[in-house]
């Protein structure tokens, strides 16, 4: 035909091929775009599937966790990767390495010393460690009658010995080191080492941030009085007919005020002293089962084992203690399962509790049952128990500043 160039017929398939390639490319892009709208697989789910381990069920709506997704992912990574080196120095028969006991109101310290040795987190290779544990137990020192003055000397000599013997402290000035103590005198025992108080991670039962406790660095250790005298409570709302309950010693200003203002109230069961065993067996513990809100004022320190008692027995804790950095609050949203008040609110305590609707109480109670597993110790430790939650808090702090 006129006007056709030689070879035009041979080249005509090329535009059609290009159109076909363009169509395929458009289809591929559309498919990938639609697929990207699907939620990504939870890394915690993948890790659990790989290890055939039970996975904690997290719900984003009204969750007891600040960020369920972040907690699940961080927890899974901690279990896969976290390693702690325990300094081997010190005679276990004196003040080092092993717990004094796993019972009583300082049981949390003992359980940690026991659990860290039973867990997968321990490593004998310091070059693989993220953190270094200084295994000196003020609770053991107290049990052997060591005076506070001698305690500070023993702690100072031990830590300085580790610094001189090993190179690890000087790499970070101790920022990747931690110690654990639940006894009140334990914190004071380290006062002879101001650089350790400043730099190292302190895991303590008395986390008052109006003194030396530094929330972003230090960790609140829950004070758990184990073994519990009675089984867990929970999912028993119909049995909880008492509005509020507290019984204890008046060893702090807030407790004195609490008893003075409310001990004769007909709706609040407030007692000036611990309930006598002469009244009946385990009357004090059984009262937790019958109460909606258990009042937890600070004692000689901001903390109280009554908080973990309340959680265990299914009674919503009412935190009545200023400057208290609550345990595990990097992960847990305490306002979902507790009532947090200022000490000056004690005068309005009854009105505040009565203003909480039944629907709100039911929600608090159900959330409380969800966190019970985090406030109990086991030997050997089990997933998501108090030990693992402490380790999670340590894991969050393992990316230390290198000086």
For the segment 28-78, what is each residue's pLDDT rounded down to a tens digit? Answer: 444 333 333 333 444 333 333 333 343 444 444 579 999 999 999 999 999
Confidence check: pLDDT of 402 > 60: no
Alpha carbons within 13 angstroms on the beta-carbon side of residue 42 total 19
Structure confidence at residue 63 (pLDDT): 94
Neighbours of 49 (CB within 10 A): 11
Mean pLDDT of 284-307: 88
Among the residues of 204-290, which ranges form H helices? 253-262, 283-289
Confidence check: pLDDT of 6 > 60: no
pLDDT band at 275 (very low <50, low <70, confident <90, very high): low
Tokens of 400: 């230390």
Q: Which of 139, 340, 283, 341 is nearest to 223 (CA)?
A: 139
Structure confidence at residue 310 (pLDDT): 96
* Domain annotation for the chain: domains and CATH numbers: 79-222+380-398 (no CATH), 237-374 (3.40.50.2000)
| Strand arrangement of the beta sheet that strand 219-220 belongs to | 122-123, 84-86, 131-133, 177-181, 201-204, 219-220
């Amino acid at each position: 035909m006129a006007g056709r160039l030689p070879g035009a017929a041979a080249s005509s398939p090329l535009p059609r091929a290009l159109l076909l390639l363009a169509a395929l490319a458009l289809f591929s892009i559309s498919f990938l775009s639609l697929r990207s709208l699907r939620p990504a697989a939870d890394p915690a789910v993948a890790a659990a599937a790989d290890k055939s381990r039970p996975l904690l069920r997290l719900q984003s709506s009204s969750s007891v966790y600040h960020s369920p997704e972040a907690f699940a992912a961080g927890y899974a990574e901690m279990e896969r990767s976290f390693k702690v080196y325990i300094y081997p120095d010190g005679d276990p028969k004196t003040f080092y390495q092993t717990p004094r006991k796993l019972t009583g109101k300082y049981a949390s310290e003992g359980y940690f010393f026991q659990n860290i040795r039973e867990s997968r987190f321990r490593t004998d290779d310091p070059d693989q460690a993220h953190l270094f544990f200084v295994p000196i137990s003020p609770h053991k020192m107290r049990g052997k009658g060591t005076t506070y003055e001698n305690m500070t000397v023993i702690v100072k000599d031990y830590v300085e010995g580790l610094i001189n013997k090993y190179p690890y402290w000087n790499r970070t000035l101790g920022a990747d080191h931690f110690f654990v103590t639940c006894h009140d005198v334990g914190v004071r025992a380290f006062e002879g080492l101001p650089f350790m108080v400043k730099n190292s991670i302190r895991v303590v039962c008395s986390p008052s941030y109006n003194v030396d406790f530094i929330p972003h660095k230090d960790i609140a250790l829950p004070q758990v009085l184990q073994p519990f005298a009675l089984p867990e409570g929970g999912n028993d709302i119909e049995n909880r007919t008492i509005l509020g309950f507290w019984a204890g010693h008046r060893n702090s200003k807030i407790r004195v005020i609490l008893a003075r203002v409310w001990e004769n109230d007909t709706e609040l069961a407030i007692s000036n002293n611990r309930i006598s065993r002469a009244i009946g067996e385990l009357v004090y513990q059984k009262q937790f089962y019958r109460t909606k809100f258990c009042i937890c004022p600070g004692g000689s320190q901001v903390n109280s084992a009554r908080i973990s008692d309340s959680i265990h027995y299914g009674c919503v804790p009412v935190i009545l203690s200023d400057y208290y950095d609550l345990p595990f609050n990097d992960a847990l949203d305490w306002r979902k399962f507790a009532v947090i008040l200022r000490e000056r609110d004690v005068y309005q305590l009854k009105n505040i509790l009565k203003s909480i609707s039944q629907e709100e109480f039911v929600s608090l109670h159900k959330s409380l049952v969800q966190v019970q597993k985090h406030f109990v110790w086991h030997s050997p430790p089990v997933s998501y128990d108090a030990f693992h939650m402490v380790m999670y808090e340590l894991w969050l702090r393992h990316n230390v500043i290198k000086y």
